[in-house]
Amino acid sequence: MSNKKSVIFKMKFLRANRDIYNPDQREKLYWFFREQFRFGHREVLLDYISKDYGNLIQGFLQHGFHGKALAPWQTLPRTFSEDYPVFVWNQVTESSAKSLGNTHVHAIGAPWLYLLKQKEIDLGKEGMLTRVQHTKARDVLVVPSHGSGHFHPGGSYHQLPRAYRNLLGDADASVLLYYTEFCDPQIRKSWSDAGFEIFSSGMAWGPEHRTLWTYNGGRANFLANTLTTLLNHRNVICQAPTTLALYAISLGIPTKINTAEEMPRALGIVNQGKGVERFRKLELEVDKWAEDTLGKRFHELSITDEKRKLVLTALGTSAVKTPEQLREILPLLPGMVPLSENI
């Protein structure tokens, strides 16, 4: 990195942080920059604009389908946001943010859409999706709710695979486990014993959220691995509102969100301390927002024009940029992230 670029970055960073030198704001700063490393989103965008993985995006990159509960521009000091933009998926989110005076929020479309463009998967004309042919289709893919660095599956998790097997009968079924559950041998065994083939898309980001950029565990290929798994299934059932439901619909795969009360939830909480109620409240807010947004359209295992149009809007197909446009929009800082010869 040139001395000039280094000095400019440090000046912007110090100016933006004059309101962040306290414990409450430091966590927000960490969240702001780390999101781009989730699920290999940064790598997908860098591939699209032909830039190497050493580049850091100087801004926030929306990581999933969520509402105002996770909107970063709501709580960050304006002095910080003036220097570092927020990149969201769709123009509805952008317009909502800008109506509140957040002029630094810009819609660019979901990284998923850029992956599909690179894979030459056509979403169809005038917003109508083209069904992608499966390479080898199994009957159904189950996507259970998952844990994280703060959450873990509760003690009744073993009931979940049996409940889905009872629901699906003799169907040729698979399960897509998040890395936190995939790494647990007991959880894998519970799904295997119930007759499910087990898939994982890889690590969402670095272990314990520390080395965010690591290439270990398939982080950089998370979206591509998810695409491959989806294309190998005829139907998808998600246990909770999830971004993957949108991805499946975008490929023309009949998808439902199964929020039936009799289906046990996998999510339990590890840290029974200060942050417990905050995490519980946040989960409820996101679930309610997704339910209000998606509505009963996703309660049936189907693929409809209404679902497709809703998904296209949420993913931000109208906001997708050309490589040249995106190259101009993304503020990149080269030489900030280690490279790997194996990627």
pLDDT higher than threshold 70 for residue 103:
yes
- pLDDT level of residue 39 (50, 70, 90 thresholds): very high
DSSP conformational letter for 134: P
Residues 6+ apart with CB under 8 A from 22: none
Residue 149 reports pLDDT greater than 90: no
What is the distance between the alpha carbons of residues 242 and 239, in angstroms, rounded to a whole number?
A: 8
Q: How does residue 258 score in pLDDT terms, banded at 50, 70 and 90?
A: confident
Q: Taking 70 as the threshold, does the pLDDT of residue 321 lie above it?
A: yes
Residue 131 lies in a domain: no
List the one residue out of 222, 287, 200, 217 whose CA is nearest residue 44. 222
Proportion of the chain above pLDDT 70, given as a percent: 66
Residue 23's pLDDT is what? 54
Given phi > 0 = left and psi -120 to 50 = alpha, else beta, which region is 316? left
Which pair of tokens denotes residue 286? 């996101």
Does residue 338 lie within any of the structural domains?
A: no
| Average pLDDT estimate for 310-333 | 93
Same-domain check for residues 311 and 322: no
Number of domains in the chain: 2
Task: Identify which has the larger pLDDT, 106 or 157.
Answer: 106
Say yes or no: 95 and 46 in one domain: yes
Q: Is residue 124 part of a domain?
A: no
pLDDT per residue over 152-196, tens digit each?
Answer: 555 577 888 999 999 999 999 999 999 888 988 999 999 999 999
Tokens of 173: 């079924």
- 308 and 196 co-located in one domain: yes
- Shared domain for 197 and 229, answered yes or no, is yes
Could you tell me if 212 and 257 lie in one domain? yes
User: Do 54 and 149 lie in a common domain?
Assistant: no
| Cα-based torsion angle of the residue sequence 115, 121, 127, 128 in order, rounded to the nearest 10 degrees | -140
Flag whether 171 is in a domain: yes
186 compared with 79, residue with greater pLDDT: 186
CA distance 187 to 209: 22
Q: Is the dihedral of CA 114, 117, 118, 122 positive or negative?
A: positive
Strands of 105-107's sheet in order across = 60-61, 86-88, 105-107
Q: What is the mean pLDDT of the chain?
A: 78
Higher pLDDT, residue 33 or 80: 33
Contact 189, 161 (CB under 8 A): no
263-305 per-position pLDDT tens digit:
555 444 444 444 555 556 656 665 666 666 666 667 788 888 8
Question: Containing domain of residue 225, as a range?
Answer: 138-315
The answer to whether residue 128 is domain-embedded is: no
In DSSP terms, 238 is beta-bridged to: 143, 257
pLDDT recorded at residue 93 = 86
